[in-house]
């Protein structure tokens, strides 16, 4: 009897919640040219391009990239315009519900390896623009392999509970009422489509980002290594000027002329495609956010 | 007999000291590469005036370093960890791939020195081409460790 009530409560709490009518009404017609900016800002190719592909081939969003995490191995799906193996048959409402609520057209929850926890902060019209742009990309046949997750993480329904705690479309960093316009734009780009926090913020035991240590760096989700602290706190980028940051986004060179590496190399290639004003906005935001010490453990001293 | 053992030990010690530190050596080469880029990038961006001699010297440093880099010398087994190395285990897991990336750098650096840039725009093109070697290799074979 209690088990039955518990199960019913679970079922109710984990119900997929899609966008409400008011949000859907804001989608609009969508403009593919504006959508291209969002495409590069959102970094879709970083996960969904065929692994190892280069140049124009990166626009073939075949999926297949493996993300090895403590929960198991996620594999990015085919999100090309193919109606059978990609998302070519999705409506713009389907696309928006996936992007902003992590709900698939069949009503199941999507895993937050797809960063809808960030995309939830996008405007519906940007999402509609992105949809229009992605319709122009090539159709790619062939589904990617399924995820390979350990129990109980392979139970999608449980994500409904996770989302109650971790899916939130409010801004992370509060800005003063008179904050400059480009800092606000930077906040939108970073906390929304840029989804920088998904890699650069430490995660708790449940795999949700720890917003109290926003952008302070983290142990890398995939395998070994760490992701940088991009606040002005100790170990971060406090001694980088705004211009140092935009130069890094544009060229991949740090102020010491070290070169970008790891997963950030692909991100930097995407950032280099944005307008300078967008890069400057991101840099302005990074200089404005609260400082935190590194969100990852310091390297242990080498054995002598 | 004892003198012989002593002599052999001393020789071994000296020899091992001579091959002591591939990690420090490769890091020094990479830092020198960074400094060379530090001469070229401001020229490319127009922040510093174009200087043909300085540009050529920087490219020669990059080329000298590229030709010096040798997987057996600078990335031997046993140098995967230690010091402050940020070398990724992939260097040893994908030796063919790493060698290919290194060979591409050697070729691109040699080409840059063979036809040195004559203006700021050409420096930009050279920096772009060489910079892809930096990030391309670092993307796959370098890992930030904390």
The mean predicted confidence, pLDDT, of chain A is 94
Tell me whether A228 touches chain B (CB under 8 Å).
Answer: yes
Q: Within 13 Å, how many C-alpha atoms sit on residue A166's CB side?
A: 25
The total of structural domains in chain A comes to 2
Q: At A262, phi and psi to the nearest 5?
A: 60, -150
**Chain A environment of B143 (Cβ under 8 Å):** 224-225, 261-262
Bridge partners (DSSP) listed for residue A148: A73
Sorted by where each begins, the domain ranges of chain B are: 21-141
Residue A171 lies in a domain: no
Interface check for B134 against chain A (CB to CB < 8 A): the answer is yes
Model pLDDT for residues A108-138, shown as the tens digit of each residue: 999 999 999 999 999 999 999 999 999 999 9
Q: Is the pLDDT of residue B29 over 70?
A: yes
Instruction: Give the confidence band of A70 by pLDDT, cuts at 50, 70, 90.
Output: confident
**A173-187: pLDDT as tens digits:** 999 999 999 999 999
| 3 state SS of B81 | coil
Q: Which tens digit of pLDDT belongs to each residue from A132-144?
A: 999 999 999 999 9
Q: Residue B19 — pLDDT band, cuts 50, 70, 90?
A: low
Place of tokens 């800005």: A175
User: Model confidence at B4, in pLDDT bands (50, 70, 90)?
Assistant: confident
| pLDDT score of B10 | 65
pLDDT for the residue numbered A304: 45
Find out whether A230 and A238 touch, Cβ atoms under 8 Å. Answer: no
Contact B138 A265 (CB under 8 A): yes
**Residues of A numbered 277-296 whose beta carbons fall under 8 angstroms of chain B's beta carbons: which are they?**
294, 296
pLDDT band at B1 (very low <50, low <70, confident <90, very high): confident
User: What is the arithmetic mean of pLDDT over A271-285?
Assistant: 98
Neighbours of A150 (CB within 10 A): 10
Bond into A41 cis (ω within 30): no
- Please give the residue of chain B at the shortest CA–CA distance from A54: B136
Structure tokens at A230: 């991009």
Residues A75 and A136 in one domain: yes
* Size of the A and B interface in Cβ pairs below 8 Å: 73
Pairing of strands A148-149, A218-219: unpaired
Does residue A187 share a domain with residue A158? no
A36 and A144 in a common domain: yes
Q: ipTM value, please give it.
A: 0.86
Q: What's the rounded Cα separation, in Å, for the pair A73 and A67?
A: 6
Beta bridge partners of B75: none
pLDDT band, residue B73 (cuts 50/70/90): very high
- Answer yes or no: do A299 and B134 touch at CB < 8 A: no
Per residue in B75-100, pLDDT (tens digit) is 999 999 988 899 999 999 999 999 99
Cα(A181)–Cα(A184) distance, integer angstroms: 5
CATH class of B21-141: mainly alpha
Q: Which of B30, B83, B144 sits opposite A262 (nearest CB)?
A: B144
Going by C-alpha positions, the residue among A249, A223, A101, A72 that lies closest to residue A162 is: A101
Does A193 map to a domain?
Answer: yes
Q: Does B130 touch chain A (CB under 8 A)?
A: no
Residue A300 lies in a domain: no
- Regarding whether A153 and A247 lie in a shared domain, the answer is no
Structure confidence by residue, pLDDT tens digits, A23-42: 999 999 999 999 999 999 99
Question: Is residue A205 over pLDDT 80?
Answer: yes
Domain of residue A49 covers 19-166
Q: Is B46 on the interface with A (CB under 8 A)?
A: no
The phi, psi pair for A66, rounded to 5°, reads -95, 135
CA A74 → CA A68, A70, A71, A166, A192, distances in Å?
Answer: 6, 10, 9, 19, 22
Q: Which residues of B touch A253 (CB under 8 A)?
A: 37, 41, 131, 134
Query: Domain for residue A105, yes or no?
Result: yes
Please indicate whether, in this complex, the C-beta atoms of B131 and A258 are within 8 angstroms of each other. no
B91-136 tens-digit pLDDT: 999 999 999 999 999 999 999 999 999 999 999 999 999 999 999 9
Question: What is the pLDDT at residue A303?
Answer: 46
Q: Is residue A172 part of a domain?
A: no
Task: Name the residue among A128, A3, A6, A145 with its Cα closest to residue A63.
Answer: A145
Query: B90, B129, B135, B138: which to substitute to probe chain A, counting the most A Cβ within 10 Å?
Result: B135
Return the residue of B nearest to A265 by Cα: B139
Whether A62 and A126 map to the same domain: the answer is: yes
Q: Do A261 and B143 make contact, defined as CB atoms within 8 angstroms? A: yes
- Tokens linked to B45: 């961006």
State the residue for tokens 């913020």.
A201
**Quick one: A130 and A31 in the same domain?**
yes
Q: Where does residue A223 fall: left (phi above 0), alpha (psi -120 to 50 degrees), or beta otherwise?
A: left
Phi-psi region of A137 (alpha: psi -120 to 50; beta: other; left: phi over 0): beta
Give the range among A173-177, A298-302, B36-40, B69-73 with minimum mean pLDDT.
A298-302
Task: Please check whether residue A304 touches B, CB under 8 A.
Answer: no
User: What's the CA gap between A34 and B40, in Å, rounded?
Assistant: 35
């Amino acid at each position: 009897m209690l088990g039955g009530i518990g199960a019913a409560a679970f079922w109710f709490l984990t119900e997929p919640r899609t966008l409400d009518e008011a949000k859907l009404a804001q989608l609009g017609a969508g403009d593919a040219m504006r959508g291209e900016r969002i495409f590069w800002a959102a970094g879709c190719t970083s996960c969904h391009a065929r692994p190892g592909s280069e140049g124009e081939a990166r626009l073939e969003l075949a999926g297949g990239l493996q993300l090895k995490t403590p929960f198991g191995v996620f594999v990015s799906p085919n999100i090309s315009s193919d109606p059978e193996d990609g998302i070519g048959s999705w409506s713009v409402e389907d696309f928006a519900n996936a992007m902003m609520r992590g709900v698939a057209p069949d009503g199941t929850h999507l895993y937050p390896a797809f960063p809808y926890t960030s995309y939830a902060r996008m405007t519906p019209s940007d999402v509609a623009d992105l949809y229009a742009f992605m319709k122009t990309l090539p159709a790619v046949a062939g589904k990617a392999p399924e995820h390979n997750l350990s129990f109980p993480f392979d139970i999608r329904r449980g994500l409904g509970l996770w989302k109650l705690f971790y899916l939130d479309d409010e801004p992370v960093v509060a800005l003063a009422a008179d904050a400059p316009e480009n800092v606000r734009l930077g906040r939108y780009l970073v906390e929304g489509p840029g989804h920088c926090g998904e890699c650069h913020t430490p995660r708790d035991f449940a795999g949700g980002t720890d917003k109290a240590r926003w952008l302070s760096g983290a142990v890398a989700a995939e395998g070994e290594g760490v992701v940088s602290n991009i606040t002005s706190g100790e170990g971060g980028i406090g001694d980088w000027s705004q211009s140092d940051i935009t130069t890094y986004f544009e060229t991949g060179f740090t102020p010491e002329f070290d070169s970008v590496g790891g997963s950030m190399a692909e991100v930097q290639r995407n950032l280099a495609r944005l307008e300078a004003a967008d890069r400057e906005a991101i840099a302005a935001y990074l200089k404005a956010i609260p400082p935190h010490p590194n969100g990852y453990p310091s390297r242990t001293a080498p054995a002598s | 007999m004892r003198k012989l053992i002593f002599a052999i030990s001393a020789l071994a010690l000296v020899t091992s000291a001579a091959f002591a530190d591939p990690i420090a050596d490769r890091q020094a080469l990479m830092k020198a590469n960074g400094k060379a880029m530090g001469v070229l990038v401001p020229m490319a961006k127009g922040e510093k005036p174009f200087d043909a001699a300085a540009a050529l010297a920087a490219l020669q440093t990059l080329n000298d370093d590229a030709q010096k880099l040798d997987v057996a010398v600078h990335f031997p087994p046993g140098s995967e960890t230690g010091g402050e190395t940020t070398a990724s285990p992939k260097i040893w897991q994908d030796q063919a791939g790493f060698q290919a990336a290194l060979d591409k750098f050697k070729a691109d650096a040699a080409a840059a020195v063979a036809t040195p840039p004559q203006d700021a725009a050409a420096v930009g093109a050279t920096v772009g081409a060489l910079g892809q070697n930096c990030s391309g290799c670092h993307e796959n074979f370098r890992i930030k460790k904390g």
